[in-house]
Copies of this chain bind each other. A is one copy, B any other.
Amino acid sequence: MARYQAPLRDMKFLLYDVLEIGSYSNLPRFSEAPRDVVEAVLEGGAVFASEVLQPLNAIGDRQGCKRNPDASVTTPKGFKEAFKQMSDDGWMAISADPQWGGQGLPRVVSIPFLEMCSSANMAFSMYPGLTRGAAEAIQVGGSDEQKKTYLTNMMTGKWAGTMNLTEPQCGTDLGLIRTKAVPQPDGTYKITGQKIWISGGEQDLTENIIQLVLARIEGGPEGIKGISLFIVPKFLVNADGSLGARNGYQCGGLEEKMGIHGNATCVMNYEGATGYLVGEPHKGMRTMFVMMNEARLGVGMQGLAQAEVAFQNAADFARERVQGRSITGAKAPDKPADPIIVHPDVRRMLMDMKAFTEGARAFTYWTALQGDLEQVSPDAHVREKAEDRMTLLTPVVKAFLTDRGFKCANDALQLHGGTGYTRDQGVEQFVRDARIALIYEGTNGIQALDLVGRKLAANGGRAVFAFFNDLEEFVSSNDGDKDLKPYVEGVALATGQLKEATMWLMQNGMSNFDNAGASSHDYLQLFGLTAFAFMWAKQAKAALALRGGGDRFYDDKLATAQYFFERVLPDATSHLAKVKTGAGSVMALPADAF
């Protein structure tokens, strides 16, 4: 059976020694988060994740969700109690606004907790995750009355929330949405249509479910510019806040999936259900994008989270399983064979995983910190820079972390040999669960297109040039540091390659958009590697400052940084070469040649 232990040491190192969140204590939210509070959150969160959520992970996979004849849905045994505990103990709302029942801590403090929950039980964690996203969309786009009606109960986890986007004929292309909203004399709308792949669309965890539904108001414009956003509660809410009539929709079925069996993926049939318009008519995508960008960072983190738990189990297995002898001579002569961790190729896989998870954690937390600074910094320039960084890097976090996180989980399975392929060990579940993260909230191909098509060009390239500046400033300001030199050189090398690829795209992607599309995947990979190089150099810098004094943590960190630069970063070269070939051979064949 799999196990999970929160990597608290690494989390604290990142928050305090790399990101130095202690230096922001004069800012709102951060002022509510002195170190003892943060450490209590981390440590309490670790117990909740590993003692409450993790034991339900395999159960959720085995039992899955069940749709009953009355169209209700039963989640796996124990999920309901765990959800209630999460809500009752205040874990749901760590970084939510105190006005709506939250504790108002910075996002960068809540993200380690979210990582832990996702490592411990990804399928479960999607229920609160989507609830938070839906609540934030209402917070951004809803009326005061809507906020008052829904937010506290959603933020605290008394009610759940969902996103209803996809329909059978449209996933990526939401302009094709057919679900219809007919205005009623009382200002509400009747919603009719079918939504599919709705995570948590129906469940037995909460007494109410607040569906956020994209639909087209009758007579509105065609395409994406005619899409509006609606709140469609499972039970209508009376003026006094009590629950009223059951709304007119049903769960029509559950998808059978490769993984995340503990999460109910619903077909939702709306049959004249009562909906409340969020924001302006036909402008629903704007608010939905707030939610989606949030969600994309969360999905990136799922890539990290599954990689982390898979890595931990692989490391245990590598230390425990004895098989063969070290090629440099027996290391455990008292045993019938050496533990397989002595074999360099096993070590290679473990180092790949360690270099990924620790790099990904730094990248995720750093991006989350930008989200905080964007909101709370008193300096408009800092806010702009923070927003630019977060906007630019969101598709990179989502796609790069889920691509490589899946690879990492898959390597963890590989390290287990045949044992990994059997269900009892639990590691193949990580692979199946992690697999969805490359797809939902916009496939990784869509993320790459978002990066090259929108994010690079926005504001005349302001964000990407500022990011190059971040990198180059790091390089120049650490130029004289001898110990840091190999890491700084790695950042400089990667930065040069990323700039070269960016220039190539600017010169060739505008004259032929297919060049941009054909190179987008490799460009995003190169971007992710460069961001990781930056994160690893930052970590190395912090480790160099703190090492000595007999704490091996910092030496291990430096050795892992070295591994990243020697053994992971070289991929950048081949991605650059691929970027620069453009669309020619990619688009050469006619469609029926495949």
Contact = CB atoms under 8 A, between A and B. Distances in A.
Interface residues of A, number: 97
A586 B351 CA distance: 7
Contact of A176 (B169, B337, B567): B337
A421 interface: yes
* Chain copies in complex: 2
Contacts of A43: none
Nearest to A560: B589
A585 interface: yes
A420 B444 CA distance: 14
B453 A327 contact: yes
Contact of A589 (B349, B351, B419, B436): B351
Interface in A128-145: none
A593 B556 contact: yes
A440 interface: yes
Contacts of A583: 344
Contacts of A341: 591, 594
Contacts of A418: 166, 171, 197, 439-440
Given A418-B197, A586-B344, A588-B562, A170 B513 contact: no
A443 B574 CA distance: 26
Interface stretch (A68-76, A92-100, A184-192, A254-262): A254-262
Interface string A169-210: 111110110000000000000000000010000000000000
B417 A172 contact: yes
A574 B568 CA distance: 9
Interface stretch (A287-295, A457-465, A499-507, A516-524): A516-524
A435 interface: yes
Contact of A518 (B255, B347, B559, B573): B347
3 nearest A-B pairs in the assembled complex, by CB-CB distance: A344-B517, A315-B594, A344-B518
18 contacts: A256-B423, A256-B424, A257-B422, A257-B423, A258-B421, A258-B422, A327-B517, A344-B587, A345-B448, A345-B517, A345-B521, A347-B586, A347-B587, A348-B586, A350-B594, A414-B444, A428-B435, A563-B586
Given A327-B514, A420-B439, A570-B573, 18 more contacts: A169-B336, A170-B323, A171-B323, A173-B337, A257-B422, A258-B423, A319-B591, A327-B517, A341-B591, A348-B518, A414-B444, A414-B445, A421-B439, A552-B590, A559-B585, A562-B585, A573-B573, A573-B577
